[in-house]
Amino acid sequence: MIRTPATSPDAQAALEIVTHLQRYFVTQLDALSREAFEAVEWFRDEGLHSGGVRYEARDEAIFNRASVNISQVHYNDEPDKKLSSATAISTIIHLANPHAPSMHMHISWTQMRDGKGYWRIMADLNPAIPNDTDKESFFQMLKTAIPTHYKEGITQGDRYFFIPALERHRGVSHFYLENFHTEDKKADEALAQKFGEAVIDSYIMIVKNALQTHPTYNNDERQKQLDYHTLYFFQVLTLDRGTTSGLLIHNQNDIGILGSLPSHIERDLLESWKVNMPEIQQKLLTRLLDALPNISVVSVNTEVKKSLAQAVREHYKQHPKALSLQASGNTIPPTVDNHS
Residue 1: per-residue pLDDT: 86
pLDDT-above-90 percentage for the chain? 94
Residue 329: per-residue pLDDT: 76
pLDDT value at 338 more than 70: no
Mean pLDDT of 58-66: 97
Mean pLDDT of 76-88: 93
Backbone angles phi, psi at 339, to 5 degrees: -90, -5
Residue 340: per-residue pLDDT: 58
What domain range includes position 21? Answer: 9-218
Residue 20: per-residue pLDDT: 98
Please check whether residue 101 lies inside any domain of the structure: yes
C-alpha 200/C-alpha 26 separation (Å) is 10
Mean pLDDT of 168-185: 96
Please check whether residue 208 lies inside any domain of the structure: yes
Tens-place pLDDT, residues 263-310 = 999 999 999 999 999 999 999 999 999 999 999 999 999 999 999 999
207: CATH: 3.40.1500.10
Please check whether residue 103 lies inside any domain of the structure: yes
Mean pLDDT of 162-169: 97
Please check whether residue 164 lies inside any domain of the structure: yes
DSSP assignment of 203-255: HHHHHHHHHHH-S---HHHHHHHHHHHHHHHHHHHHT-HHHHHHHHH-SS-HH
pLDDT value at 42 more than 70: yes
C-alpha 175/C-alpha 165 separation (Å) is 21
Residue 29: per-residue pLDDT: 98
Please check whether residue 272 lies inside any domain of the structure: no
pLDDT value at 336 more than 70: no
Distance between the two ends of the chain, CA-based, in angstroms? 25
Residue 331: per-residue pLDDT: 67
Tens-place pLDDT, residues 206-258 = 999 999 999 999 999 999 999 999 999 999 999 999 999 999 999 999 999 99
Asked if 83 and 112 count as a contact pair (C-beta separation under 8 A), the reply is: yes
C-alpha 43/C-alpha 253 separation (Å) is 8
Residue 236 CA to its chain's centroid (Å): 8
Please check whether residue 114 lies inside any domain of the structure: yes
Please check whether residue 273 lies inside any domain of the structure: no
Number of domains in the chain: 1
Please check whether residue 170 lies inside any domain of the structure: yes
Residue 248 CA to its chain's centroid (Å): 16
